[in-house]
Structure 1
């Protein structure tokens, strides 16, 4: 889904950027919600899939991710990278999420799940409306970050 004109203006002005509870990346990496629970059972509201049509490996994500290839735990710079990887079995299991995703689900009832082309919530994006899922079209296999957004 392309970004609606109003949403583009909102993002450009930095208005309505409220997000669900913020975290420092720790939960996205280590919470049982991410890799030990199924997408249906997880309290995390965003799931990103390796294949189209919600196929292959996936990961549940609860909080916005600045860079799928290097999500800093605690927000401080650290040596090396800390990538988020697909962790539920299937095609793509263990692969890095950055530039490898083809579909997403948004279980949130209020927020849009926005999957961006560039790190830092920048560039072209696929907006996923609350309580829906779809194949990525704009950023398929070219995805670098994710954020919760409101209109």
Structure 2
């Protein structure tokens, strides 16, 4: 019997058991591979954070479900692998296919509880822009200087 559980099975198990889950995932699999990231529109996606290439939520964007340590290298499985694994904008418009790191101008936060924090440096460090739950905004402090993203509570 295969004892390996998928990420979605683990998440469902946590919900059924009533375990508190924070929207953070260290291995990057969902942010890189899930259809929620690039195959669904921001309105359809269950991912609660969207990051846009242009101001005022224009141009290409990507749905992001889990905290990202480094937009230039979101590794699947967390283990060292050859080359970088960047997150790229993937919904049409200007910026489509470009790397997210240091190229974003606005964000949307559909989460009802968590703040979406976009950081200047990788590793959730440096200056940041905070998007309140259920809000959208242009980046100011991290405009075209964004390197990581995390969910936060006050």
Same fold (TM over 0.5): yes
2:23 is the counterpart of 1:20 = yes
How far apart, CA to CA, are the structure 2 residues paired with 1:34 and 1:46?
A: 10
2:80 is the counterpart of 1:95 = no
2:127 is matched with which residue: 124, 127, 136?
124
Structure 2 stretches lacking a partner, 5+ long: 1-20
Superposed CA deviations along residues 113-142 of structure 1, whole A, max 9, x for unmatched, are 000000000000000000001000000000
TM-score by length of 2: 0.85
Report the equivalent of 1:62: 65
Contact 1:19 / 1:111 at 8 angstroms: preserved in 2? Answer: no
**Which structure has the bigger radius of gyration?**
2
Structure 1 stretches lacking a partner, 5+ long: 1-17
**Runs in 1 of length 4+ with deviation above 2 angstroms?**
none
Deviation at 1:150, TM superposition (A): 0.5
Deviation at 1:71, TM superposition (A): 0.7
2:43 is the counterpart of 1:40 = yes
Question: Number of residues paired by the alignment?
Answer: 134
RMSD: 1.1
